[in-house]
Structure 1
Amino acid sequence: MVETAHGGAAAPSGCPMHAAPTPIHDHAFAADPDGVYAELREQGPLASVELAPGVPATLVLDHETALSVLRDPDTFPKDSRAWQREAPADSPVVAMMMYRDNVLFQDGPAHDRLRQAITDSLGRIDAFTLRRYVTESAESLIRDFGPDGRADLLADYARVLPLLVLNRLFGSPPELTTRMVDAITALWDGVDTERANLELGKCIAELVALRRDQPSSDITTWLLRHEADLDDEEMVQQLVVLMGAGAEPMQNLIANALRLWLSDDRFAGDLSGGRLPVEDAIDEVLWKQPPLANYAITFPTREVELAGTQLPAHQPVVIGIAAANTDPALRDSRRDGNRAHLAWSAGPHTCPARGTARLIASVAIETILDTLPDMDLAVPADELEWRPGPFHRALTALPVHFPPVQEPDRRDETPGESGQWSTRPARTSWIQPETTSTPRRAGSVSKAPSRALSYLGEWLLGR
């Protein structure tokens, strides 16, 4: 028997269901997840874990087994209703795992219908316009804290920048977006989840009603007008998953990549080599510190065998994304440019917005490194704290310091025309030319890059 860091005894290899569940929701796990994954591998490719007090689950630890689960929705469906009936109603993880009538919890034709509506709507966003908007929004945020010579890149930058984009893409008023993101953060952290869940649904219902009454050029309006003919409840639930994916994971991808860049000598220096170093940093984060560390949850409807182990019906099978990505068997496969990680999931539920997420993250990171090239961490990297929770890999803060940057007197310049600063993001159209923006038939395959993710602050637009 092997003693674990949490005081439990690990069962012999191949018997995860007989091991004492290892908590993956506490501060000990947040402080050293890689150490916990290494101990859990003593149980084999599967491990018995606890997502919250009284909520057991099976964690998939290796890459091959994870792929077999993600690619077999018949055996490992996403519908959580049977589990939900038996789960502790007051558990902090229920709100993140409860069944919703959206693309994340559907399989088969129902999933295909919803995903097509999302893919078609996201495909109407123009990547060049999005890049310019992210750049100018990032410059505006940096202008606010640049003269101070210090900032918390999580609170002042990585969290706010996705809000600005969310707000613009989904046509959400800034105060509504702020309320939604506060609720989403509470759900991820497992804090007052019942209230947060109700608040999130209320906010999104307000957004749907607003865009039904006042159509605009945004994803919410395009979803409403899609030939899939989503009703109000379906609209709310699709936006729940889109907003959730656009806020919390996006901010953590940006923050985790900036932390790596500022703390690892391999990424130190300037951007004279072009975009590749930033892309390498993003890839390393997606391999080793993915924003969604454990998720892609499935709920087998019957007792099934997986990797030589019998799993009970309806108990969650959670993909250990970070653990699978760091599977020792993949050591020779994780070469430069290899993007076979599971940060975007795999199979039918692969993230439809992965290209957009990379674009936003790379532009956000490039812009601040180019603008503040002498930026350093304000505390040693090993003193940075991580938020506890079973699903995310998220910092509590990312304090930095840098030589103060004074804003030039360019108030009369056109935003983005020249120079380091822009006064505010320009008003821009997100729709591609009409010839490429007509919604496709429900059964068609979208060939346009999927583009989603979200953000606050119409004050930057002067509205």
Structure 2
Amino acid sequence: MTNPDIWPTTDPTTQGCPMGKEPIAMHGPRFQQNPAQLYRQMRNEYGPVAPVRLEGDVPAWLVLGYREIHQVESNPELFARDTRRWNAWDRVPENWGLMAFVGYQPSLMFTEGAEHQRRTGALGDSLDEVDQFELRGICEQIADELIDSFAGSGEADLMAQFAHPMPLRVMARLFGLGDDEAAQLGQDLTDTVASDDGVGAYQRIQERMKRLVERKKENPGADLPSRLLVHPAGMTEEEILQDLLVVLTAAQQPVAYWIGNAIRLMLTDERFAVTLAGGRRSIGQALNEVLWEDTPTQNFIGRFASRETELGGQRIHTGDMLVLGFAAANTDPQVRPDAYSDSVGNNAHMSFGHGEHGCPHPGPEIGAVISRIAIEVLLDRLPDVALAADPDALVWLPSVWMRGLAALPVQFSPSYIVGS
């Protein structure tokens, strides 16, 4: 825990707060157990922008309002992305758990202005060259292979055995990696957040990406690294390495939880039960509704004020951190007064961000293809799949940042293996 004696006498997130009200801790069981309820409380007490304390008692602002998040993301000069602007670095505890989100790295995640546009343009152009028919074929093949591994058993944990490996293996294929390399990469990604060797695992991932870029420079192919190497933006090998890591991490957990959350919805909500067997319309509806109600990326660090300003009735100081509350914004009653009232066919959610630093096109579209085909193949192969646990007993991961299930146990009639 930080020592409050070393903090400046003026704490930016307490100025302007209603008398007697303290910032709310954005961590711990209270936040993890029922975040939606806490968002409502924070909105009632503070309005669309609330003072919070992150892990280590570090101050920040949580942007809860849909319009306010849109305002922040539409003004990258005022609400900038480079974390070196932060005014609270002297308050960060040693071995801070959120350093991976905030520590500056030379990737497109932290670039601004013309440099950001150069690198996101190169990435977007290179992703645009992915053939959609080929992508669908890759997704179908990988989904079949994953289902083959458990189809004969009559039971599975769809998070560990299906949702998590699906986007990783698809992206590895788009990177020009083999399945063995994808498996090793997946283990390292898991170890970065669920192992005592997190730093070592991240270093191994960087080394794998470095070797991949070097290999593609010598032997280019029809893959993302090869396209980036010859793009007119003139990206360096280090820039490509860093930006490939961004693409990989952005695709892995969010898409895995998108798949898992949609399957959970389809297995537990009677609105979707009728069309499970062979139905296609319900898959798209479930995927879209999840982005409104259980979006995988709940909160995102963040933006940093480049000068004094006001947002949502709060005075924001130069260098203040703003955490973008995507989940709270998607249920903002000022925009959606009735839950579920307009989720079908409405793509105006904040789940992929917005503006210059939103998920670059066609990233969301590729994620949607992976998710939809994963569920289509699953329902084709296992039409009687059913939840093997009480819906209320399903455990959500204890994370402020991501919304996903720890496990999704299902049962089904043992099925054949494709090609057997």
TM-score normalized by structure 1?
Answer: 0.80
Residue of structure 2 in register with 1:245 after alignment: 250
Equivalent positions of 1:270-281 (< 5 A) are 270-271=275-276, 274-281=279-286
Residues 229-271 of structure 1, C-alpha deviation per residue, up to 9 Å, x if partnerless?
1112211111111011111111111011111111111111335
Q: Root-mean-square deviation (CA), in Å? A: 2.5
Indicate how the Cα distance of structure 1 residues 316 and 174 shifts in structure 2: closer, same or farther if over 3 A, else same: farther
Residue of structure 2 in register with 1:382 after alignment: 392
Residue of structure 2 in register with 1:348 after alignment: 356
Residue of structure 2 in register with 1:116 after alignment: 121
Quote the Cα distance in structure 2 between the aligned partners of 1:215 and 1:72.
38
Indicate how the Cα distance of structure 1 residues 53 and 174 shifts in structure 2: closer, same or farther if over 3 A, else same: farther
Give the counterpart of 2:381 among 367, 371, 379.
Answer: 371
Equivalent positions of 1:173-212 (< 5 A) are 173-187=178-192, 193-212=198-217
Residue of structure 1 in register with 2:130 after alignment: 125
Quote the Cα distance in structure 1 between the aligned partners of 2:409 and 2:242.
35
3-state SS of 1:59 partner: strand
Residue of structure 2 in register with 1:39 after alignment: 41
Task: After superposing the two structures, state which structure 1 stretch, 329-338 or 291-300, moved more.
Answer: 329-338
Quote the Cα distance in structure 2 between the aligned partners of 1:359 and 1:388.
28
3-state SS of 2:410 partner: strand
Deviation at 1:422, TM superposition (A): 4.5
5+ residue gaps, structure 1: 1-10, 408-420, 424-463
Indicate how the Cα distance of structure 1 residues 14 and 395 shifts in structure 2: closer, same or farther if over 3 A, else same: farther
Deviation at 1:195, TM superposition (A): 3.5
Task: After superposing the two structures, state which structure 1 stretch, 286-295 or 382-391, moved more.
Answer: 382-391
Residues 329-377 of structure 1, C-alpha deviation per residue, up to 9 Å, x if partnerless?
1225734201100001011122120111111111111111122121111
Give the counterpart of 1:328 among 322, 333, 336.
Answer: 333
Residue of structure 1 in register with 2:232 after alignment: 227
Residue of structure 2 in register with 1:452 after alignment: none
Deviation at 1:175, TM superposition (A): 4.5
Quote the Cα distance in structure 2 between the aligned partners of 1:221 and 1:241.
17
Q: Is the 8 A contact 1:92 1:190 kept in 2?
A: no
Deviation at 1:131, TM superposition (A): 0.8
Count residues in correspondence: 400
3-state SS of 1:131 partner: helix
**Is 1:103 matched with 2:108?**
yes
3-state SS of 1:103 partner: coil
Q: Give the partner amino acid of 2:38.
A: V
Indicate how the Cα distance of structure 1 residues 21 and 175 shifts in structure 2: closer, same or farther if over 3 A, else same: farther
Residue of structure 1 in register with 2:410 after alignment: 400
5+ residue gaps, structure 2: 1-12
Give the counterpart of 2:165 among 156, 160, 163.
Answer: 160
3-state SS of 1:151 partner: strand
Quote the Cα distance in structure 2 between the aligned partners of 1:214 and 1:43.
56
Quote the Cα distance in structure 2 between the aligned partners of 1:338 and 1:127.
23
Give the counterpart of 2:302 among 297, 316, 337.
Answer: 297
**Is 1:76 matched with 2:79?**
yes
**Is 1:30 matched with 2:32?**
yes
Residues 364-407 of structure 1, C-alpha deviation per residue, up to 9 Å, x if partnerless?
11111122121111111111111122211121111111111133
Residue of structure 2 in register with 1:265 after alignment: 270
Residues 115-142 of structure 1, C-alpha deviation per residue, up to 9 Å, x if partnerless?
1110111011111111122112111211
Deviation at 1:77, TM superposition (A): 0.5
Indicate how the Cα distance of structure 1 residues 285 and 186 shifts in structure 2: closer, same or farther if over 3 A, else same: farther
Indicate how the Cα distance of structure 1 residues 95 and 193 shifts in structure 2: closer, same or farther if over 3 A, else same: farther
Give the counterpart of 1:58 among 58, 61, 74.
Answer: 61
Q: Is the 8 A contact 1:117 1:223 kept in 2?
A: yes
Indicate how the Cα distance of structure 1 residues 175 and 140 shifts in structure 2: closer, same or farther if over 3 A, else same: closer
Task: After superposing the two structures, state which structure 1 stretch, 140-149 or 44-53, moved more.
Answer: 44-53
Deviation at 1:19, TM superposition (A): 4.4
Residue of structure 2 in register with 1:49 after alignment: 52
Quote the Cα distance in structure 2 between the aligned partners of 1:311 and 1:214.
50
Deviation at 1:49, TM superposition (A): 2.2
Indicate how the Cα distance of structure 1 residues 376 and 14 shifts in structure 2: closer, same or farther if over 3 A, else same: farther
Indicate how the Cα distance of structure 1 residues 24 and 379 shifts in structure 2: closer, same or farther if over 3 A, else same: farther
Indicate how the Cα distance of structure 1 residues 269 and 173 shifts in structure 2: closer, same or farther if over 3 A, else same: same
Q: Is the 8 A contact 2:260 2:405 kept in 1?
A: yes
Residue of structure 2 in register with 1:459 after alignment: none
Quote the Cα distance in structure 2 between the aligned partners of 1:317 and 1:296.
7
3-state SS of 2:253 partner: helix
Deviation at 1:109, TM superposition (A): 0.6
Residue of structure 1 in register with 2:23 after alignment: 21
Residue of structure 2 in register with 1:319 after alignment: 324
Q: Is the 8 A contact 1:179 1:200 kept in 2?
A: no
Quote the Cα distance in structure 2 between the aligned partners of 1:378 and 1:79.
45
Quote the Cα distance in structure 2 between the aligned partners of 1:53 and 1:308.
26
